[in-house]
Amino acid sequence: MKGLKKKVLALFVSMMMVTSMFGSVMVNAEEIVPTFETGVMKDGTQKVKVNLGDTYFYKYTPEKTAKKNFKASLQEKDYMVSVGIFDENHNMINCSNGTKEVSQTVATFEKGKDYYVAFYTREESSGLPMEEGSEVPKQIEVTLSLSDAASSVVVYEGIMDGYYDYSCVAESNVKGLSWDPATATLTMDGYNAEKSYIYFKNMDLFRTYYVEPSNYSAYDIGEEPVIGIPIEGEPAQEAYSGEYYTVTIVVKGKNTLKDSSISVDSGVNLVFKGDGELTIDNDKYEYAVLTCGTPGYYGYEDMDCNNKLTIDGPRISISGAFTEDVMAVPYFEMKSGTLYMEIRPCIKNDKGHYGDIYAWKAFTISGGSIIVKYVGLPEGTDYQGDGGHVSYQMVESPKITAENATIIVTGDADAVEKVGNLYVFADGPGTQGKPEIADSVIFLKGSSIDISKLKVSLSETSYIYDGKAKTPDVFVEGLKEGEDFEVAYNNNVEVGKATVTVAGKGFFKGTLTTTFDIVKAEPVADGPKAGTTVKDKKYIYKVTKAGSTDGKIFGEVKVVGLKNKKLTVIKIATKVKIGGVTYKVTAVGNNAFKKNKKITKAIIGNNVKSIGNSAFEGCKKLGLVNIKSKKLTKIGKKAFAKCKKLKKIVIKSTKLKKVGKGAVKGTSKKLVVKAPKNKKASYEDKFKKAGNKKVKAK
C-alpha cells in the first residue's frame, strides 16, 4: 500500500516535471491502481482541506453520459496542482500537468460506471514530497469542480525562465489578456510581457511518451520509471484523430512581447483577428514564435495533425534570429492584415541560418501583406546547407498558393537572393515544385524596392475644418512609417484638398502621393431633440425637428396647448425662439385648444401645414379663424366641430387637400369659407362633406 501510494505520488510529480505545460502522460495501469479512496465526487463544486504533497482520489458515478471538466483550484498562489481521471478498471483516462493555482482536464463519463478523479499538490520548488517521519505536512484548501465541459481547450500564460511558472488565463488576472471559454476567444489588449509563453492546451489530447528507461532520469521507482512505459499492444499514435477546435486571438491596441512564443496542441486551429498590433521581438529566444501541433515540438514526436494558423486582420510583427523556424504549422493561411518579419541570421559553428515559415502541408495567401527583411551574414560566415542548397528558405511547403495579396522580400542583397524564396519542396533531389502565384499578387523582391509600385491609403480621407493641421495615418501595404518610408503633408490646414507625399526610406525608394479633403463645418442641430416639449410665455410646443443654437439650422415645432390660460385670441406665430433656438411653427397639434371657453379668434401663422384632429373642437366662443399660411394641406377630423359661433374661416392656401370628417360639424349655419378664387368650388364641397351643408365659399 505504501509503495503503491509512493508510485502514485511519483506519477503526479513526474507529470509536473516531465510533461510541463505540453501535455499528459499515459502509464501502465498496474503502476497506478488507486487502492484507496478519500471521498466521493459529485457534480458541482466542493472545498476540501488536504495535506500538501499527498494524492487524493474521489469516486464519481455519473447519472448521465456527458463530457465533463474536472478542475482543482488552489487558494494560495505558491503551490502547484495536477489532476487525473481514472476509469472503473483503474486505467488513467486523462490527466493534466502541474500548474500554479489551477489544473484541469476533461473526459467523457458514461452513465452508471464508476470513475476516480484525483489530484496532487506540491510546493512550487522541484523535488518529491517529504518522506515519512518528517515534520507535519502543511494543510491547504483545494476547490474541486466537476461540470459539463464548456470547451476542451484551455489557455495558459507563463514565464519561460520559470519552467513551471504558468497559470490558467481564465483563473488568473493577467493584465492585457482575457479568455472566454464559451467562444474559445482570447482577447489581447495592451498585453506586454517578456519571456512569456501562451499555450493553448487541447484537453482531449492524451499523448503517450515512449522513453527508454536508460534515457530516463526522473524518479525511477524500483527498476523501471513510472512514466514513459509503453502500454502493451498500443503503438505510438502517428496522427491526431480527434475533434478539431478553433481558437481565436482577437488583437486590440498595441501588444508587445519580447523573447516569447505562442503554441497550440494538435487539434487546435488558431485564428488571429482584430485591428490591433502584436509585436514579438525575440533577441535571445531562438525557437519558433508560433507553433501549431508541430511534429518534433514539445513531446509530439511523430504525431501528425491538420492544424491551421490563420491571420485575418491584425498586424503581426516578428523579429529575431531563429535556429530553425519562425513559424511551424501544418497549414498556414493569410487572409488579411500584415505579417512583418525582420530576420537576423542565427550563427552556429560559423554557419548562418535564417528562420522560415514552415507549413508542412500547405501555405496559402488570399489577402493582406507579407513583408520579410533580412539582415546580412557577419563577415567570415557562410550559409548553412549542403549540396549547393541553402537550408531554410523564406517559406517552405509542399504547396504554396497566393492571390490578391502583396509579398515584399528585401534587406541584404545576398540574403534576399539566397534565402528569400517561396520554396515548394518534394521528395527526392531535383523534384522542387513551383509556387502558384496569381496575377493579382504584387510580388517585389530585392535590396531596393520602388515604393511607387505599392498602394497607399489613409486612416481618414475627409476632415471638417477647425483651423488645426490634419495628419491622417498613412498605410503602405504594411510597411513601417519612419523605418520604410517618411510622410510629408501639404495644404493640410485650410479648407480644400490636402496632399500627402510618401517617400521611401532604407530598403525602399521612390515616392507616392495621395490626397484628402478639408471641408467647412456643417451646422449641428444641438437644440432639444424631436419629441421634446418646449414653452414660451403663451404656448406649449412639441419639437418635431431639432434646430441649432447658432441659428444656422431652424427647428420645427407644433402647438400642443396653452400656457397662458387667459388668452382670448390665439395667434400662431410664423417662428418662435425658445432657448436660443429658432423654430418654424408648422402645425397645430391634436386637441391643442379643445373645449377652451375663452377663445374668440384664432390667427394661424404662415408656416402651418396642418391643423390636427379636434384642435379647436368645442370652443364655443370661437367666431373667426384666419389661416394665413399658404402651405396648409390638411385640416383634421373634428378640427372645428361644435364651435357654434364660428361664422368665418379664411384660407389663403391653394394646397389644401383634405378636410377631415366632421371638421365643421356643429358650426354656424351662416359659416363662410373665404377661399382663393380658383378653389372656391372645390373647397365649398370639401367643407360641406365635413359636416356643414349650409357652408358657402366666397
The pLDDT tens digits for 186-205 are 999 999 999 888 988 888 87
Pairing assessment for the beta strands 177-180 and 185-189 based on DSSP bridges = antiparallel
Mean pLDDT score across all residues of the chain: 84
Mean pLDDT of 5-12: 43
What pTM was computed for the model? 0.70
pLDDT value, residue 536: 96
29 backbone dihedrals φ, ψ, rounded to 5°: -60, -35
Using a pLDDT cut of 90, give the percent of the chain over it: 62
pLDDT at 602 over 70: yes
**Helix (H) or strand (E) run with residue 550 in it:** none
How many C-beta atoms lie closer than 10 Å to residue 2's C-beta? 7
Residue type, 509: K
Residue 29: pLDDT band by 50, 70, 90 thresholds? very low
Give the three cell numbers for residue 533: 416639449
pLDDT value, residue 323: 85
Report the C-alpha gap between 151 and 81 in whole angstroms: 20
| pLDDT per position as a tens digit, 366-425 | 999 999 999 999 988 888 876 555 667 899 999 999 999 999 999 999 999 999 999 998
Give the three cell numbers for residue 270: 488558431
pLDDT at 213 over 50: no
pLDDT value, residue 109: 93
Lowest mean pLDDT segment, chosen from 280-289, 542-551, 643-652: 280-289
| pLDDT per position as a tens digit, 226-282 | 333 333 344 445 677 788 999 999 999 999 999 999 989 888 999 999 999 999 999
Residue 93: pLDDT band by 50, 70, 90 thresholds? confident
Residue type, 310: T
pLDDT top residue among 379 and 156: 379
pLDDT value, residue 232: 39
In angstroms and rounded to an integer, the radius of gyration of the C-alpha atoms of the chain is: 40
Mean pLDDT of 665-675: 96
How many C-beta atoms lie closer than 10 Å to residue 550's C-beta? 12
Q: What is the DSSP code string of 574-610?
A: SEEEETTEEEEEEEE-TTTTTT-SS--EEEE-TT--E
The closest alpha carbon to 338, from 455, 423, 501, belongs to 455
Report the C-alpha gap between 304 and 518 in whole angstroms: 57
Report the C-alpha gap between 439 and 441 in whole angstroms: 5
Give the three cell numbers for residue 313: 486582420
Residue 30: pLDDT band by 50, 70, 90 thresholds? very low
Report the C-alpha gap between 689 and 637 in whole angstroms: 12
pLDDT value, residue 131: 42
Lowest mean pLDDT segment, chosen from 136-140, 233-237, 332-336, 501-505: 233-237
Helix (H, G, I), strand (E, B) or coil at 677: helix
Report the C-alpha gap between 399 and 243 in whole angstroms: 25
The runs of H, that is alpha helices, within 312-456 are 413-419
Sign of the alpha-carbon torsion through 415, 417, 418, 420? positive
Using a pLDDT cut of 70, give the percent of the chain over it: 83
pLDDT value, residue 217: 29
412's CB contacts (< 8 A; 6+ apart) are 374, 375, 376, 377, 447
Lowest mean pLDDT segment, chosen from 228-232, 341-345, 380-384, 459-463: 228-232
pLDDT top residue among 133 and 48: 48
Residue type, 629: S
Q: In the structure, how many helices (H) and strands (E) does the chain have? A: 3, 60
Residue 174: pLDDT band by 50, 70, 90 thresholds? confident
pLDDT top residue among 481 and 136: 481
